[in-house]
Amino acid sequence: MMVTMMGSLSTEKGWKKGPWTSEEDKLLTEYVCLHGEGRWSSVSKYTGLNRSGKSCRLRWVNYLRPGLKKGQLTPLEEETIIELHATLGNKWSTIAKYLPGRTDNEIKNYWRTHFGKKRERSKHEKKLGRRKPKVLKQKQQQPHIVSITSREETKNQTKTFETQNNMQQEMGFLYPTIEHQYHVPLMHEIEGFSSTWPNTIVDDDDDSWFSLWDFGERFEDYVNQFSKCVMPNQATFGVGVDSMQNHDKTFLFY
């Protein structure tokens, strides 16, 4: 039998589920103030809250914890997410470490909203035989997309950069773990690049994800910088030619 997820149902153990009330929030907040974070399974015992430890932790981490930023992500945060996802993949908690005040859940939702569904829709359209590139909503206000490299110019230039573990890094950010002190430059940290993410068209091709980006004259510069950097969990980083019809752009794939 299908169980309604969001309704105020109780589990077999008797835990309440569904949206939290302000009273429940208050009880949980008081508990954390007194006992600190952790010991989530004890929350119900001390507060009378009929919520599982898991549910309490999630509510605290994603909604009640002090210092959380509310509201829309800034363009810089969006850019950071996109770039980190390109290197880290779906490591939402790791990505969240670079965005103070933002939760992994929030970032995950953002990504799925802006890219996941577009991919699904793209696949759907592919089935229907009408593939069209989709311009990201946030980028539509930016200037028109400029062709970077012609199809003919890059047709036979597809190349792959193996990740390199011991490169001396000069720009970008550091991964937090000791064993991954890699340095990957963010777009805006490369001299000459805009502080905002370039115009982007998103589409999918099987299970890979790629973008068409307007790098202007600095495309090769960025590729060279990026290819010097270690990309954890990514086997390759490459440059190829857009395979979509009617598009003559260079793209990056992961």
Partner DNA sequence: AAAGCTGACAACCGCAAGATC
Partner DNA sequence: GGATCTTGCGGTTGTCAGCTT
Cα of 40 vs its chain's centroid, Å: 28
Q: How far is the CB of 59 from DNA (least distance, A)?
A: 5
Distance CA 147, CA 151 (A): 10
Contacts 24+ apart (CB under 8 A), 55-59: 55/15, 55/17, 56/28, 56/31, 58/105, 59/20, 59/24, 59/25, 59/28
Beta bridge partners of 183: 174
**Concatenated DSSP letters for 78-127?**
HHHHHHHHHHH-S-HHHHHTTSTT--HHHHHHHHIIIIIHHHHHHHHHHH
- CB nearer to DNA: pick between 4 and 166: 4
Distance CA 99, CA 115 (A): 19
* Residues within the interface to DNA (CB under 7 A): 2-7, 11, 16-20, 37-41, 51, 53-55, 57-59, 62-63, 71-72, 90-94, 104-106, 108-110, 112-114, 117-118, 121, 137
Distance CA 13, CA 199 (A): 51
- CB nearer to DNA: pick between 117 and 159: 117
- CB nearer to DNA: pick between 40 and 193: 40
Rg (CA), the chain: 22
Tokens of 89: 């993949």
Identify whether the C-beta of residue 229 lies closer than 8 Å to the C-beta of residue 182.
yes
Tokens of 78: 């969006």
- CB nearer to DNA: pick between 95 and 190: 95
Q: How far is the CB of 248 from DNA (least distance, A)?
A: 26
- CB nearer to DNA: pick between 115 and 193: 115
Q: How far is the CB of 73 from DNA (least distance, A)?
A: 8
- CB nearer to DNA: pick between 114 and 151: 114
- CB nearer to DNA: pick between 55 and 225: 55
Cα dihedral 242, 187, 195, 215 sign: negative
Q: How far is the CB of 78 from DNA (least distance, A)?
A: 10
Beta carbons within 8 Å of 91's beta carbon, 6+ residues apart: 233
Q: How far is the CB of 134 from DNA (least distance, A)?
A: 8
Q: How far is the CB of 88 from DNA (least distance, A)?
A: 8
Q: How far is the CB of 158 from DNA (least distance, A)?
A: 27
